[in-house]
Amino acid sequence: MAYGLGLVKGLKYTFTRAMKTVAGDFKHLGRRYDETLLRERQSVRGTGIFTVQYPEEKPAIPENFRFVPFLVYEPKLDANGKPVIDAQTGKEAINLERCTACGICSKVCPPQCIWIVRATTPEGKPKPKPAEFYIDIDVCMNCGFCAEFCPFDAIKMDHDYELANYERHISHIFDLKTLMKPATYHARIHPLDFKREEDDRKAKEAAKAAKK
């Protein structure tokens, strides 16, 4: 009896969705790529277009999203507690590198994509600081073991996934300069993780002070 009704139902759904998308375009004229709008569209309440219009709008990244790792450093602070911008690099000036070149990350790395060379003092003694640090991001499998195992919270997983390039042997071997990112950046992309770390550190310091 009712042959083809399913087809009509499906087409009706597609058509209403398309019409709602057009209506939404007129309703939100001029602020099409608004972030709050995107969040609403992607939620259950969304009625119109479902697609993320990628280069213009980007899907929200959850805090625990993992892409290639980066190294955290403490930025230099001025009198007001604001980080000082280095005029030469345009980045925040380095006060203290968290990495001590212990090599745990390179040992636990399953695909073995991390190379570290420890720095030495002029007398030839090893210094707790990396002289060279390389990550082959084309081998990295984004597992996050390095961030998990680092005892100094020096290596963290980045959120930046726009790394495609035309060749891999120069631009895709990240060196110390590319990997170094300030702690303020880490706090921005991992707010909960950063807060937990800071609380842990403060608790440890308090326990140490109490012992004395």
Partner 1 sequence: MSEEKPQAQPVPVASSEEEWIDEQVRRTVLVTPMDRVVDLVDKIYNWGRRNSVWPMGFGLACCAIEMICTSASRFDISRFGMELFRASPRQADLMIVAGTVTKKMAPSIVRLYNQMAEPKYVLAMGACASAGGPFKEGYSVVSGVDKLIPVDVYVPGCPPTPSALLYGLMQLQKKIDGQTIRDVSWYRKGASEGIPEPVLGPDVFDPRRAEEITALAGDPGKLEARAINIKSKAESKAEKK
Contacting positions for partner 1 (CB under 8 A): 50-55, 58-59, 67-68, 110-111, 136-143, 161-168, 172
| Residue 160 one-letter amino acid | D
| Cα pseudo-dihedral 100, 132, 155, 136, rounded to 10 | -150
Minimum CB separation of residue 54 from partner 1 in Å reads 5
Minimum CB separation of residue 167 from partner 1 in Å reads 6
Minimum CB separation of residue 160 from partner 1 in Å reads 10
Dist CA 109 CA 149 (whole Å): 10
Contact (CB, 8 A) for 110 and 141: yes
Q: Whose Cβ is closer to partner 1: residue 87's or residue 170's? A: 170
Q: Whose Cβ is closer to partner 1: residue 94's or residue 108's? A: 108
Q: Whose Cβ is closer to partner 1: residue 138's or residue 197's? A: 138
Task: Please spell the DSSP secondary structure of 77-130, one letter per residue.
Answer: B-TTSPBPBPTTTSSBPEEEE------HHHHH-TT--EEEEEEE-TTS-EEEEE
Minimum CB separation of residue 168 from partner 1 in Å reads 5
Minimum CB separation of residue 97 from partner 1 in Å reads 24
Burial 78-103 (b: 16+ CB within 10 A, else e): eeeeebeeeeeeebbbeeebbbbbbe
CB atoms < 10 A from the CB of 199, how many? 10
Q: Whose Cβ is closer to partner 1: residue 164's or residue 192's? A: 164
